[in-house]
Amino acid sequence: MRDNDRDVKQGRNGAEWVTLAVSIAILAVFVGAALYEQFVNAEPAGAILRVELSLDQTEQRGDRFYVPFDVTNSGGDPASDVAVLFEVRQGEEVIEESDTMIPFLPSDGQETGEAVLMSDPAEYEVTAEVGNFLEP
């Protein structure tokens, strides 16, 4: 009976301490990764949409001008029925308007297209913006 008491009072040996330290380190890494994902690396809520025109890649086909564009959703939620509005301006005067609809844009997604205009973008100011959209 005295031998059992001596074994209990000896405490942990080196291998048990190493195992405990490794286990705590692994647990700390998992908890740290979970906290990082939750607070630091989280995508913003909602759909955050941006339109970029590629005016330097405009092509003329017949009497129309085709201006490539990209719509990007950098938010955490998808968007549907995205209306993209294009305006051709001469100073403050709007001389042409055009629009297009994107049926679905996933979170962190991008859609490309072409705006079809009657006016030459090299001679006028062309702008694009997201009108309205739905968050499914």
User: CATH number of the domain that 102 lies in?
Assistant: 2.60.40.10
Query: For residue 117, with 0-12 CB atoms within 10 Å meaning exposed, 13-18 middle and 19 or more buried, which class applies?
Result: buried
112 pLDDT above the threshold of 80: yes
Q: Are residues 79 and 102 in the same domain?
A: yes
pLDDT at 34: 87
Give mean pLDDT, residues 80-105: 95
Give the total number of structural domains in the chain. Answer: 2
102 and 69, same domain (yes or no): yes
Q: What is the pLDDT of residue 60?
A: 96
Please tell me whether residues 28 and 53 are part of one structural domain.
no
Structure tokens at 9: 């009072």
What's the token pair of residue 31?
């908890």
Mean pLDDT of 90-102: 95
Report the predicted TM-score, pTM, of the whole model to 2 decimal places: 0.67
> What confidence score (pLDDT) does residue 41 get?
61
For the ranges 9-18, 35-44, 52-61, the maximum mean pLDDT occurs at 52-61
Q: Rounded distance, CA 52 to CA 84, Å?
A: 11
